[in-house]
Amino acid sequence: LQIRQTATVTLRLKVKKHWKKINPNDRERLQIVMVMLPFCIIIFSKNLRSKHQPLPTHGESETQSKLDLKTLFFFPQVGLLLLNKVIESNPESFQPHYFQLLQLLSTVLHDHNNPIALYYCILTLTEITAFIAYDCLQKQMRSIIPDLIVALKHLIKANEQQATEAMEVFIELMEIEVSVIVPHVAGIVHFCLEVASDTTLSDSLRVKALSCITFLIKLRSKSVLKLKLLTPILKALFPILTAAPPLGEHDPEDEEDGDSDDNATDNANPKHCAAQVIDTMALHMPPEKLFHHLVSALFSCLSSEDPYQKKGGLMCLAVLAEGCADHIRTNMLSSVLQTVCRSLSDSSQVVRSAALFALGQFSEHLQPEVSKYCSELMPLLLGYLSSLNEAKVGHVTRAFYALENFMENLGADIEPYLPTLMETMLSALGNTNKLKIKELAVSAIGAIANAAKESLVPYFPPIIESLKGFLIATTEEMRSLQTQSLDTLSVLARTIGKDVFSPLAAECIQLGMNLTDNIDDPDLRRCTYSLYSSVATICPESLTPHLTAITTVMLLALKSTEGITDKNFVLLDDNDDDDTDKGAEHLLEDEPETDILESAGFSVENAYMDEKEDACDALGEIAFSTGVAFQPFLESSFQQVYEMRDFPHEDVRRAALGAMGQFCRAQHKVFYCFKKNNFFLFFFFLRHVVMGVLESMNSVVKSCKEEVFKNPSYLREICSVIREVLTKKTPCQGGDPDDTDDEDQQAEFDAMLQEFAGEGIPLLASSVPADQFAPFLNDLLPLIMSKTKSSCTVADRSFSIGTIGEILQALVNAPGGRGLAGRLSNRLLPVLVAGVKDSDAEVRNNSVFGLGCLAEAAGPIVVSYPHLYISTLSHVCSARQVVPALVKHLPLKEDMEENKTVFKCLVMLYKHSPDMVQCKLLTPSFNPLWDRFCLSDT
């Protein structure tokens, strides 16, 4: 393998150097050859295997015999490797061949003695899963699942690391085409439980198996319950959850000096993944059913004398708190808190640490009921904290976690404990040498500030002095403490009071800018963003002089592709620069992805995603807080944040949408702060905001349909927004009445806005029952029809008649839609008929489309206007002449969405006028079209 890798790199160095010198046509031919090469190799290798060659005679050389065997073994591996890499780099190109590929890969899955072939075969299946939308492909993939499980069992025996990666195929199938695995849910679960329970296997493989179960429960919890899989899953999980570590060792979180990132240990720890499975069950299953199966095992663990049995029971209780909060609050809160309190005094440090974790979870998810037990729990926590041995950082971390979550929700009830708490925290800041303890204390001060607010003022000076000392340090080991100090400083800015914090506002801004100028760290930068937005809420004028520098850094963070690497196969054209001087080592590194919105093949580092999320949040809040001062930066900020609306990371998407809302609020605030002669200057930017909001709103309605309108007020509010835009009553459509130079451009902007608004009406018609939508449609329709007059612009006429057609099309399948279309027909038919005679081709085209939609939607009612309808259509076309011309111009070269309309028309003709299409001239033209479109994803 190493020799092959070296040869590949050397070849690439040679080829890459001269690649640009090759004629473009020759380059294209070579790339086609590269794409076809894996198929050639696979066919060649299959032919080799299919030949019934006689065994070597005694006289044949042993070397030649070995060479033949190596050839037979090697070629399938190379072919599958190349096939995997080429499909990974460009999967869409292979879609017409996926059925044959699945047949081929199904055969390879039976080659259990060739683990490398199995590995690349399963990786290729993983790539294909995103493109198996057709029933025939899904059926083929479904039949492969049993063989896939058997192949994975053999691969586990040969190479656990490769098997871990290959098991990703289950998660991909669940995420993209879960229907494929539904018949095999039981088989997949039992296989994953078998792997997860085998302690001889690697932790990473066991974690992957548990992750598959977690993902399955998220998507198909009802199937798990229906197939009675809950009991076997829990029976397998509890031995993992309660397993004692090898003699002389500890679980990662129980290490004596566990100064490691909890997340890093969780990701490769079967015990924590087992807890996550139960957590997922709690979130996706009825608590009554879950507790019915869980309670006996849970009681057995908690009543055991074995500390690891108790720990497992407490961890189970802890992860149930979020998903089963109401059930616990109603039925067992007092008893579980008593259990936790007893465990806090247990002789085993392992049990006490687990109890602290459980208490932290309860404090986070079972509020406000847990806070009522303040008098019992706070003395326990304070006593536990004061007696902790600082060397056991893992246990200290759990103690602070429980304390923070409990304190944050106490409010004024924290005041009796404030002196003791602050004495403990300030002592930790000043006296300990362990940076982790200082970091935990700084974080706890933030939690105390959230509860105590102005009551913390007496302790503010020593807190600030300590934080300043941490923030001016330059050593790398201080970085985590600095990040936490910035977070706590942000909390203090919001809670301690404006009068107390304002004198420090300018200094805090400068401190944050100095840190980002000198230290390249995404966590540190995102914390400075939070600090800026916090200061902006109490002292916006301190931020104004620095807005250029601050917004520049944040926008660069949003544009940055740091932390996102493309794992796809690198073809020769992927890098135009001649990098031969960088050596082979550089070529083996991942190359950065240029389009951050393409989620396939991404490896995402969370720190950079957190930075983007916090940058969006901060930009929105700063825009709202600073008001007028932010106007010069609003357009660039909005445009960049708007680009993040489809970002792969869901938290970034949420933050981007929230920031856009804040930008709208910021503009609304500015609107009421300025005289009317300043309107256009300040609301020019808001046009982009309104367009973005309308597009986002339309996307949500299109995707979620009736789910959006479970709250009845949303329909009224959305229709109100559309009406405001259509009547040009939004502030951004006002303009300056004294300025006529840009009249045409302003009209274009208004037309664009109205098109965005008009696109929402058909979406509403298809998402809401017609009787419910009728009053709103009756209100909006005159606004649309008013733009069909001959005095209106071509753009207005085209838009209005096109919108009418789309509304009618939407009513066809809406509940009660045909009746509503019939009631509207006497108003709409004359408008559409007049449009057929329009001087503009696009208006005429839209009018004919609208007439067809009206006929389909209103049905028999249209028959009451036979002369008007038939005479109009007879002027438009004659079907016997039009159909051959239509077929002649197929397939469409552009506007591919219209393929649906074209084929719908042809199907209708086959049903109702077969003599028009079943003729000798047309039938030969249809067959290639059917073949082409059946294999495409159109």
The full DSSP string for 235-254 is HHHHHHHTPPPSTT---GGG
The pLDDT, as a whole number, for residue 807 is 92
Question: What is the distance between the alpha carbons of residues 424 and 427, in angstroms, rounded to a whole number?
Answer: 5
In-domain check, residue 935? yes
Query: HEC states along 829-846?
Result: HHHHHHHHCCCCHHHHHH
Residue with tokens 């070597």: 56
The pLDDT, as a whole number, for residue 712 is 79
> Which one of 409, 435, 450 terminates a domain?
409
The H-or-E segment that residue 412 falls in is none
- Are 934 and 137 spatial neighbours (Cβ–Cβ below 8 Å)? no
> Which one of 357, 383, 409 terminates a domain?
409
Give the relative orientation of helices 418-431 and 435-452 as an angle to the nearest 10 degrees: 150
Burial class of 42 by CB neighbour count within 10 A (0 to 12, 13 to 18, 19+): buried
In-domain check, residue 202? no
Phi-psi region of 874 (alpha: psi -120 to 50; beta: other; left: phi over 0): alpha
Phi-psi region of 627 (alpha: psi -120 to 50; beta: other; left: phi over 0): left
The CATH number assigned to the domain holding 394 equals 1.25.10.10
In-domain check, residue 352? yes
In-domain check, residue 173? no
The pLDDT, as a whole number, for residue 670 is 64
The pLDDT, as a whole number, for residue 262 is 45
Residue with tokens 């009543």: 303
Structure token pair of residue 791: 């005095």
Low-confidence ranges of the chain (pLDDT < 50): 41-74, 258-267, 391, 566-605, 674-686, 735-748, 876, 920, 938
- pTM across the whole model: 0.60
φ and ψ at residue 591, rounded to 5 degrees:
-100, 145
Question: What is the distance between the alpha carbons of residues 673 and 737, in angstroms, rounded to a whole number?
Answer: 19
Question: In total, how many domains does the chain have?
Answer: 2
The SS3 assignment for 603 reads strand
Q: Distance between the two ends of the chain, CA-based, in angstroms?
A: 41
The pLDDT, as a whole number, for residue 260 is 45
Over residues 188-230, the pLDDT tens digits come to: 999 999 999 999 999 999 999 999 999 888 888 888 888 899 9
Listed as own residue / partner, the contacts of 108-111 with beta carbons closer than 8 Å and 24 or more positions apart are 108/76, 108/80, 109/144, 109/147, 109/148, 109/150, 109/151, 110/147, 110/151, 111/76
Over residues 457-497, the pLDDT tens digits come to: 999 999 998 888 888 877 888 888 989 999 999 999 999 88
Listed as own residue / partner, the contacts of 325-328 with beta carbons closer than 8 Å and 24 or more positions apart are 325/365, 325/366, 326/287, 327/287, 327/288, 327/291, 328/366
> Which one of 364, 383, 409 terminates a domain?
409
Over residues 10-25, the pLDDT tens digits come to: 766 766 666 667 777 7
Question: What is the distance between the alpha carbons of residues 668 and 735, in angstroms, rounded to a whole number?
Answer: 15
Q: Quick one: the chain helix, strand, coil %, rounded to 5? A: 80, 0, 20
In-domain check, residue 385? yes
The pLDDT, as a whole number, for residue 259 is 47
In-domain check, residue 699? no
Structure token pair of residue 647: 């970002």
State the CB neighbour count (10 A cutoff) for residue 16: 16
State the CB neighbour count (10 A cutoff) for residue 82: 21
In-domain check, residue 400? yes
Amino acid, res. 684: F
Signed CA dihedral, 732, 733, 738, 739: sign only: positive
In-domain check, residue 317? yes
Which residues form the domain of 925? 884-938
